[in-house]
Amino acid sequence: MKVSELGEFGLIDLLAEMAGGGQDEQLLIGIGDDAAAWKGDASIQLATVDSFVQDVHFPSGIAPWNELGWKALAANLSDIAAMGGAPRYALVSLALPDNTEVDDVTALYTGMLELAREYRVAIVGGDIVSAPLVVITITILGSTKDRDKHILTRSAAEPGELVAVTGELGTAAAGLEMLTKKLQFDPQATACLDRAFLHPYPRIAEGQLLVDQGVKTAIDLSDGLISDLNQICKSSQVSARVEIDRVPIEPIVKAQFSEKALELALSGGEDYELLFTARAEVIDKVKRAAACPITVIGEIVAGKEGVTLVDSQGNPFNLGKAGWEHFITR
Amino acid sequence: MKVSELGEFGLIDLLAEMAGGGQDEQLLIGIGDDAAAWKGDASIQLATVDSFVQDVHFPSGIAPWNELGWKALAANLSDIAAMGGAPRYALVSLALPDNTEVDDVTALYTGMLELAREYRVAIVGGDIVSAPLVVITITILGSTKDRDKHILTRSAAEPGELVAVTGELGTAAAGLEMLTKKLQFDPQATACLDRAFLHPYPRIAEGQLLVDQGVKTAIDLSDGLISDLNQICKSSQVSARVEIDRVPIEPIVKAQFSEKALELALSGGEDYELLFTARAEVIDKVKRAAACPITVIGEIVAGKEGVTLVDSQGNPFNLGKAGWEHFITR
């Protein structure tokens, strides 16, 4: 069987089973969540790695190198945000073609360092290798704020909880559409979409706020709402109903992409917002404490259906497309 | 300027300068050593990452997938060995073509897990992405055995110290020659060279032994003796003289590669032995305590010449080739 037949998630499940948890008593979370977690002496330690491949994760020539650096680091920091932790150190492995301009590599680092300094992350190591195409792999090491903090996992969702998101969805995917199809919008819309796709801000503070308010379950929206919510359902062995009319969509996306806006919001991915579940009273506390919009979009229910979309009348809604998974061609 | 003109080491220096040490008071070692190091609560924490690119680090079709997994992990563990630490957790990022066989990926993991279990390392996370060619990126997290242990760095070598290596050199490069050129040797030689290239054992115990015996300076031999010793010279602002007749070469390599054996040993790379410097009395203690051969091959001297090779009469010896550096075509 080819990996394209099994798919990214099937392959991860297979390899996770092979790796097992082992007999490591300190290990809290192994393969299969946003980050690995283990008990440190004064806090829970977190580690995550992600690779960005030219022409797969970023179309050549669309993202300036500094934005590529910003975005690659942001996507990794977002995994730490989804655990409710604080990032601390980054290791950067760069695979680069021989004819890459040194100025482009320093621009890449300039973008990474801009974000790193804003979030007090130090780039402390890495690796540079020759390759026919650009691959950027970033490892982030972090921890909970202190020993008494729990972490956010994908596996603690329970029927009766509500499903909520930070911010607005679909903007990054709309930005990618704009850039790849060279769509022309007014300056405000252009800037908004450009920034959403190229310059996302990981929700580090919000992840920690979720922990403080008692939320247990979260994931960051990298693959798309449906796909990522499905991960929570699978890990927690529950299902979820999402009311499509409640999904928060940036007005600019609604205005410019009318009929396509919902699809961008449901399966576009790369928004790096946090998707979380909690009882209504906990979500009310989160809403009061958070500086960004918090929107309830559905609920966790029992069963094995995974994610069901419903319209405002409660009727099933079929989108046809479910989010981003590597290797699978839809 | 292209990265091929600046070279891997020049680019690392440039990016290290950009990243800086920052104001992180816990950070002990940033970019530029075998691993990053920072003060943990009960020990010094270590982290390292390395990428392996198809057709750059491993010729397609030569290494069975399980050996590829073993070797990629071994090379990373070797960086922790070179710091005198103990590895603990691994994160594995795989970039794979869509038509990769699932059985090949599980074989890759089988090889990694075999080594991981032998060294009590747990694979706790990672990432799988689609790409036109195979890239394996492994992050290793580790620590010193306890709070009172120091770490081995590249920057503590001093004139008057001797230069020594564990094991024998050139065997991995000889194995690569045998495999790529399909050379035919007797079964014993074939097995020895095959294993040296495909199935190296990182010198974890030996790295810890060096710490225990008071050694301060070490690097693992990944790029080749001359190149790696040059790294010590650069980081420590010293020079080194290597007596070529003292370099330990596996008899099978001498027998099969006669005139080329020395070049393989001096600049072949991938032996994953430890190269270290210390005063004669410390090296004597290491020799008595170590289970593997320890060979003195030269000395650290003052000056900025870097590595000088001399023959048994003390006359300069010119090899012409200096080791492996990405991007540089020699």
Q: Shortest CA distance to B216 belongs to which of B161, B300, B152?
A: B152
- Please tell me whether residue B328 adopts helix, strand or coil conformation: coil
Mean pLDDT of B257-274: 93
Positive or negative torsion for Cα A67, A69, A74, A79: positive
Task: Report chain B residues whose CB lies below 8 A from the CB of A27.
Answer: 89, 122, 124
Please answer whether residues A49 and A59 qualify as being in contact, where contact means their C-beta atoms are separated by less than 8 angstroms. no
Which has more pLDDT, B56 or B229?
B229
Name B101's bridge partners: A2
The 3-class secondary structure across A262-326, one letter per residue, is: HHHHHHCCCCCCEEEEECHHHHHHHHHHCCCCEEEEEEEECCCCCEEEECCCCCECCCCCCCCCC
* Domain shared by A127 and A181, yes or no: no
Q: Which of B143, B178, B213 is the last residue of a domain?
A: B143
pLDDT surpasses 60 at B324: no
A322 found inside a domain: no
- Closest residue of B to A11, CA-based? B102
Quick check: B16 contacting A, CB < 8 Å? Answer: no
Structural domain contains residue B298: yes
Q: What is the pTM of this model?
A: 0.93
The pLDDT, as a whole number, for residue A324 is 58
pLDDT computed for residue A330 by the predictor: 39
Q: Do A316 and A308 form a contact (C-beta atoms < 8 A)?
A: yes
**Residue B325, in any domain of the structure:** no
* Interface membership of A81 toward B (CB under 8 Å): no
CA distance A316 to A242: 10
- Mind giving me the DSSP string for A46-72? EEEEEEEEBTTTB-TTTS-HHHHHHHH
Neighbours of B91 (CB within 10 A): 28
Q: What is the pLDDT of residue B57?
A: 84
The model's pLDDT over A198-219, given as tens digits with 9 standing for 90+, comes to: 999 999 999 999 999 999 999 9
β-partners of residue B296 are B164
Q: Which domain holds residue B24?
A: 1-32
Nearest-Cα distance to chain B for A253, in Å, is: 28
Q: How far is Cα of residue B2 from the mean position of the Cα atoms in its chain? A: 26
Q: Is A41 helix (H, G, I), strand (E, B) or coil?
A: coil
Query: What are the E-state strand segments in B1-134?
Result: 27-29, 36-39, 44-53, 86-96, 122-130
> How far is Cα B48 from Cα B55, in angstroms, rounded to an integer?
23
Among A16, A6, A89, residue whose Cα is nearest residue B45: A89
Exposure string of B60-73, with b = 16+ CB inside 10 Å and e = fewer, is eebbebbbbbbbbb
Residues of chain B with pLDDT > 70, as a percent, come to: 96
Establish if A128 belongs to a structural domain. yes
Interface touch A18/B109, C-beta < 8 Å: yes
What's the pLDDT tens digit per position in B98-136?
Answer: 999 999 999 999 999 999 999 999 999 999 999 999 999
Cβ atoms of B153 and B28 closer than 8 Å: no
**Strand, helix or coil for residue B180:** helix
When pLDDT is averaged across residues B285-309 and rounded to a whole number, the result is 96
C-alpha A156/C-alpha A237 separation (Å) is: 9
Same domain, B97 and B191: no
- For residue B280, the domain's CATH number is 3.90.650.10
Give yes or no: residues B48 and B104 share one domain. Answer: yes
Residue B219's nearest CA partner among B287, B285, B277, B262 is B277
Indicate whether B49 and B185 sit together in one domain: no
> Between chains, do A124 and B91 touch, taking CB under 8 Å as contact?
no
Is there a single domain that holds both residue A167 and residue A305? yes
Q: Please state, in angstroms and rounded to a whole number, the distance separating the CA atoms of residues B36 and B30.
A: 5
Looking at residue A312, its pLDDT comes to: 87
Domain co-membership, A115 together with A53? yes
Strand partners of residue B45:
B38, B143
Per DSSP, what are the bridge partners of residue B122? B89
DSSP calls for A11-23:
HHHHHHHHH--TT
pLDDT at B190: 96
ipTM entry: 0.91
Dist. CA A218–CA A276, nearest whole Å: 4
Confidence bin at B329 (pLDDT 50/70/90):
very low
Closest CA–CA distance from residue A19 to any residue of chain B (Å) = 6
Query: Using CB atoms and an 8 Å cut-off, which of residues 54-73 of chain A contact chain B?
Result: 55-57
Question: Residue A249: how many CA atoms within 13 Å on its side-chain side?
Answer: 27
Q: Which CATH number fits the domain that encloses residue B107? A: 3.30.1330.10
pLDDT digits (tens, 9 = 90+) for B15-62: 999 998 667 888 999 998 999 999 988 899 999 999 999 888 888 788
Name the residue in chain A with its Cα closest to that of B114. A19
Looking at residue A327, its pLDDT comes to 60
Domain identity same for A203 and A118: no
- Residue B15 exposure: Cα atoms within 13 Å on the Cβ side: 34
A83 and A189: one domain? no
Confirm whether A214 is domain-assigned.
yes
User: Shortest CA distance to A197 belongs to which of A325, A67, A49?
Assistant: A67
Measured N-to-C along each axis, helices B171-180 and B187-198 cross at an angle, to the nearest 10 degrees, of: 110
B8 interaction partners in chain A (CB closer than 8 Å): 128-130
> Does B7 contact chain A (CB < 8 Å)?
no
Is residue B200 within 8 Å of residue B270, measured between CB atoms?
yes
pLDDT at A323: 56
Using an 8 Å CB-CB cutoff, list chain B residues near A113.
18-19
Q: How far apart are CA A57 and CA A51, in angstroms?
A: 9
Instruction: Classify residue B205: in a domain, yes or no.
Output: yes
pLDDT score, position B52 = 93
User: Counting beta carbons within 10 angstroms of the beta carbon of residue B329, is it exposed (0 to 12), middle (13 to 18) or buried (19 or more)?
Assistant: exposed
The tokens for B247 are: 């370099």
What is the model's pLDDT at position A22? 63
Q: Identify any residues that bridge with A166 across adjacent strands, giving them in sequence order.
A: A294
A vs B, Cβ pairs < 8 A, gives: 244
Given its phi and psi angles, is residue A270 left (phi above 0), alpha (psi -120 to 50 degrees) or beta?
A: left
Strands A294-301 and A239-243: antiparallel
Closest CB to B1 among A36, A49, A102: A102
Which residues in A132-164 are b (16+ Cβ under 10 Å) and which e?
bbbbbbbbbbbbbeeeebebbbbbbbeeebbbb
Q: Which pLDDT band, with edges at 50, 70 and 90, does B330 fall under? A: very low
User: Do B89 and B118 lie in a common domain?
Assistant: yes
Q: Which chain B residue has the Cα nearest residue A37?
A: B124
**Domain boundary residue among B77, B109, B143?**
B143
Is residue B156 included in any domain, yes or no? no
The answer to whether position B288 is within a domain reads yes
The answer to whether residues B27 and B80 belong to one domain is: no
- Give the total number of structural domains in chain B: 3
Residues in chain A, pLDDT under 70: 21-22, 320-330
Which domain-ending residue is among B143, B170, B194?
B143
Residue A255 and residue A138 share a domain: no
pLDDT in tens, B156-175: 999 999 999 999 999 999 99
Backbone angles phi, psi at A326, to 5 degrees: -65, 145
B146 or A258, which is more confident: A258
Whether A134 and A241 share a structural domain: no
pLDDT at B323: 56
Q: C-alpha distances in angstroms, B41 versus A42, B32, B38?
A: 7, 24, 10
